[in-house]
Structure 1
Amino acid sequence: MAGNTRRPGAVRKTGSKKGPQVGTGGHGRRALQGKGPTPKAEEREYHPAYKRKVAAEQRAAGQRQRDASRGVVRGTRRATDGVEVVAGRNSVLEALRTEVPMTTVYIATRVDHDDRTREILQLASERGLALLEVTKPELDRLTDGQVHQGVAAQVPPYEYRDTDDLLDAAEASGRPALIVALDGVTDPRNLGAVLRSAGAFGAHGVLVPERRAAGVTASAWKVSAGAAAHVPVARATNLVRALGELKKAGCFVVGLDGDGDTEVGELHLATDPLVVVVGSEGKGMGRLVREACDVVASIPIDSTAVESLNAGVATSITLYEIAKARRAAS
């Protein structure tokens, strides 16, 4: 109404709740934050997708219970940190036959069974191993894309010994110590062959470096034909230092090299406590390892077409000569 001083129009009172402000000062920031992303449908309890997920989990749990009663557990991929996975029907069957330690055997769902898979199931059941039935995609991920033919097995990490354990084994046997040390041998099949020869000729253990060297894998187990279960393997952080400790314990260190001072068949230290050092086929022993040897022996090779022998063959020949010399002296 004109002239009414009690109604000053749209002018706000100073200090009122909706009074004038200088800048936003962050007052609108909270309004812009929102309530976060919308939860997935299967995470909202009232949504049909959530009810379908719960029903599927209940059906899966019931299926696992039924499979467990038959001795087969249905599941998904398990963590394999620190373990090795053997893939393929022949590989898994051979590993079972040679008593490679295993924890789990994986069988693909609806796999076409043959004589190999039936023997795998039989051997796994006899050893009390867990049988895990998985889908083919899960088996593909577990084996990292290897050709698995619907079968895989999980091998636990090998428990290495200390150098003192090898000396204790020699003392318990009542015979002079005989240890094989490998320098730069990176092929686990060569390590398996060395273990097999060590078991055949009475060696008390094998010593390998911790780095840049083959370890006791499933491949080494298979090549060793079960000898890995009976011949202890020790790991050394520093091979040269470990050889020095063995020398202080009373062992002589004999290195193998094509330019050796003597032949292995004429080794005069054969009846003493020995450490036989075998290098890689290409590079041989390292310089410091060679300097740590008391004697460097060679294996004579008649053919000029072959320059050297691999670690497994060289170890076998040397251990045979040592065993023959010890039998002759006894």
Structure 2
Amino acid sequence: MKYLSISLSYSICIGERIKSDPDYLPKVTVATGNPQHQKKKAAKKLHPCPDCGKTFDRPSHLERHENTHTRIKKLAPNYTCSYCGKIFAKPSKLARHERGHTGEKPYSCCKCGKCFAEPGHRKSHELTHNEERPYTCDDCGIGFFNQSKLQRHQRTHTGEKPYCCTECGKTFARSGGLKTHWLSHTGERPYLCSDCGKSFFSSGDLKVHYLTHTGEKPHCCSVCGKGFAQRGNMRAHERSHSGERPYICADCGANFAHSNYLKIHRRIHTGERPFPCPVCGKRFILSGHLGRHQKTHIPKNNT
């Protein structure tokens, strides 16, 4: 069995310095077999980096990693974000990051004019104008432009979450979900709303938040015309017309119209209760249950 290490483009605050480099990232393991191999690896003597705490099996690997700290320090004055202070190894990465603050979208679709912050996002969008979707999900029949998107989608049916946070053990179906989650440990919220100043962990959360200011609901149901701020909510709504429930629990067979409903349901099996009461510490499966519980701590007015 093998465990694969995957580097993600994280930015992690350590002390007074903010660094962005693959060698600063938390190790992500993707399990593909017998966990005994991981236990053997854990038994090896580890050599921690004095700067960031990352551990290595060999002193030579630690030494090579420490050189990246030196390199980042030299680059720091040249490639620093003027909005949040993040440091980047390349000016192109800095420019891409700063577009998240400014909202600039310089790449437009040649067919419909829709604009994007990244050329890769534009390329993916342009494929939507091509009706051919050769990769089809066996469970629900949805088609995709490439195999990687199909594989990512299939995890919504299987419940597979191969990306694990080394800080708290929480698992995710997508590497981007882990990347965003990691910011909850560092406390970093790099995406700022220019209208109200509220900050967010991801550019996607900021984009959805902007709609609360504009009132825009760009995604409309093809059956009844009802508008939604998020495409996922529109698709879930459309299933209320078709009766389709493609998200199936691998433990009990219960099926759902929305992947989020399956995610919440699975907490019954895993025992996960992510919403703790700040007063008594009792934990809940849903934020709404926590809200009702918190009212029990409010003294009743007997007058």
TM-score by length of 2: 0.26
Larger radius of gyration: 1
TM-score by length of 1: 0.25
Comparing both chains, which one has the higher relative contact order based on Cα–Cα distances under 8 Å and sequence gaps of 6 or more? 1
